[in-house]
Amino acid sequence: MKVNLLVAEIGSTTTVVTAFDKINTKEPKVIGQAEHYTTVKEGDVTIGIFKAIKRLEEKLKEKINWEKFIASSSAAGGLKITVHGLVYDMTVRAAREAALGAGGVLKYVTSGKMRKRHLEDVKKINPKMILLAGGVDYGEEDTILHNAEMISNLEIDVPIVYAGNINVAEEAKEILESKGKKVIITENVYPKVDQLNVQPARKIIQELFSKNIIHAPGMEKIHDIVDEEIIPTPGSVMLTTELLSEEFEDVLVVDIGGATTDVDSVTEGSPEIQKIMLFPEPVSKRTVEGDMGLFVNADNVYSMLDKKELEKNFYDHEELINKISPYPESERMEKFTAFMARKCFSESIVRHSGSIKYLFGPNGRQKVAQGKDLTAIKYIIGTGGILTRSRHRKYIMESIKELERPNKLMPGKKVKLGYDKDYIFAALGVLSTIDKESAKNILLQDIEWIE
């Protein structure tokens, strides 16, 4: 069987391969899908990829030939980034949004002028990239030039993305390059007060990810089989979320994985809240909860659970937590994993959302909003292994309707729930980079609504 396209999603625990055909036509379709555990520990992720392809061939009962092979990845630790800016609630936060939206893994953030201790911390982290921001265009210059001088003395060889005050970009570049640093200049992430501009920096970060991932442990052979640059899986899911928004407007996607739970939202929020918002938020926002994954971070999630509810539902929970895996061996194990997933699902949305606060000033108490406004969200879509495949997805996802969080800017109880039934959100994000219309057509067929 010949197919147009194979897409691999190389995750921290599993590798999923999806075959597509009739791309660039009015009737693109999914031919089939199979998976295998990710083989980073074996020193070669292509082992897992080809075993997943073999399983797909067994399902289809045919040998597969493909015209193009593309991939996304969140294996091998992702792209570790440190971010350094001027004011945390302004340029630093804007730079942070750019890094997260591109699929970066934030390890360290500083605001203001860096000190020697900051350099020591960065050196210990050993990031794969440094994002340097600070100052609106033609505004404050001293801080970003000071930080460029400090970073130039770091004894690490990583690319530095400059996304700050454009007026001193070349001067900062000269400072850094004089010490042998590689510098990429892009547009300011915070060019004017109350204006975010994160997309140019996101694009640069994603390109650097593609170059970096090729050399990550276990990933060295990946360039032998892919025909396009690899993009980070989280960034790919964001692309799919933005495709969803083109059709359904205000949407939110929750991706529960083995190591993290990621939330992507595309919404401007409600007009009423925007009037009292303290700081601007990006329309497309991504958050990563690095302590909430069902397998790599299962112990962390377990520690967050309500102990009374845990005892009530699972007398043997201590035994079950030690057996948790991506492939539950019993119905009881599956229910326990779903119980854990409920926590990941609801808590990740709570963390993603902003809140109402009250400030006291000369004119008395003033109501303000801070963070991402999710009150206009109409649709929440689940993806990731458990939300795609578990029989308990409704039980997991309806947890959001049971939450009572006063003063949080959360979706309403009438929000419509759906899921990625073919487990192809990451694959469609990659596909959209080469054929957006085919990706959108398949996406609309893929969503299954939960009644």
Residue pair 399/342 in contact (Cβ under 8 Å)? The answer is: yes
Q: Give the number of C-alpha atoms closer than 13 A to the C-alpha of residue 332, restricted to the C-beta side.
A: 9
- Chain-centre distance for alpha carbon 211: 18
**Residue type for position 390:** S
Distance in angstroms (rounded) separating the CA atoms of residues 280 and 371:
8
Give the residue carrying structure tokens 């050399």: 215
Q: Is the pLDDT of residue 360 over 90?
A: no
Q: Which candidate, 120, 198, 111, places its Cα nearest to that of 161?
A: 198
Tell me the CA distances in angstroms from 450 to 237, 246, 251, 264, 382, one per residue in order. Answer: 20, 21, 15, 19, 10
DSSP-H helix ranges across 178-249: 199-213, 233-248
Q: Is the pLDDT of residue 217 over 80?
A: no
| pLDDT confidence of residue 251 | 98
Q: How confident is the model at residue 61 (pLDDT cuts 50, 70, 90)?
A: very high
Distance in angstroms (rounded) separating the CA atoms of residues 150 and 153:
6
Distance in angstroms (rounded) separating the CA atoms of residues 299 and 314:
16
Q: How confident is the model at residue 296 (pLDDT cuts 50, 70, 90)?
A: confident
| pLDDT confidence of residue 214 | 66
* For range 426-431, the mean pLDDT: 94
The number of beta carbons lying within 10 Å of the beta carbon of residue 441 is: 19
What does 366-399 look like in DSSP terms, one character per residue? EEEEES---TT--EEEEESHHHHH-TTHHHHHGG
Q: For residue 361, with 0-12 CB atoms within 10 Å meaning exposed, 13-18 middle and 19 or more buried, which class applies?
A: exposed
Q: How confident is the model at residue 405 (pLDDT cuts 50, 70, 90)?
A: confident
| pLDDT confidence of residue 77 | 59
Residue pair 33/424 in contact (Cβ under 8 Å)? The answer is: yes
Residue pair 48/39 in contact (Cβ under 8 Å)? The answer is: yes
Distance in angstroms (rounded) separating the CA atoms of residues 108 and 118:
9
pTM, full prediction: 0.84
| pLDDT confidence of residue 232 | 84
Q: In terms of DSSP bridges, do strands 29-37 and 65-73 run parallel, antiparallel, or are they unpaired?
A: unpaired
pLDDT tens digit string along 134-177? 999 999 999 999 999 999 999 999 999 999 999 999 999 999 99
DSSP state of 411: P
Q: Domains along the chain? A: 2-76+217-224 (3.30.420.40), 79-213 (3.40.50.360), 232-420 (3.30.420)
Q: In terms of DSSP bridges, do strands 416-420 and 447-449 run parallel, antiparallel, or are they unpaired?
A: antiparallel
The percentage of the chain sitting over the pLDDT mark of 70, rounded to a whole number, equals 98
* For range 24-47, the mean pLDDT: 90
Residue pair 157/172 in contact (Cβ under 8 Å)? The answer is: no
* For range 221-244, the mean pLDDT: 89
CB contact set of 153 (below 8 Å; sequence gap of 6+): 119, 179
CB contact set of 102 (below 8 Å; sequence gap of 6+): 79, 201, 202, 203, 205, 206, 209, 232, 235
Q: How confident is the model at residue 250 (pLDDT cuts 50, 70, 90)?
A: very high
Q: Give the number of C-alpha atoms closer than 13 A to the C-alpha of residue 403, restricted to the C-beta side.
A: 25
Q: In terms of DSSP bridges, do strands 2-10 and 14-21 run parallel, antiparallel, or are they unpaired?
A: antiparallel
Q: Which candidate, 215, 213, 217, places its Cα nearest to that of 234?
A: 213
Q: Work out the mean pLDDT of the chain and round it to a whole number.
A: 91
| pLDDT confidence of residue 95 | 87
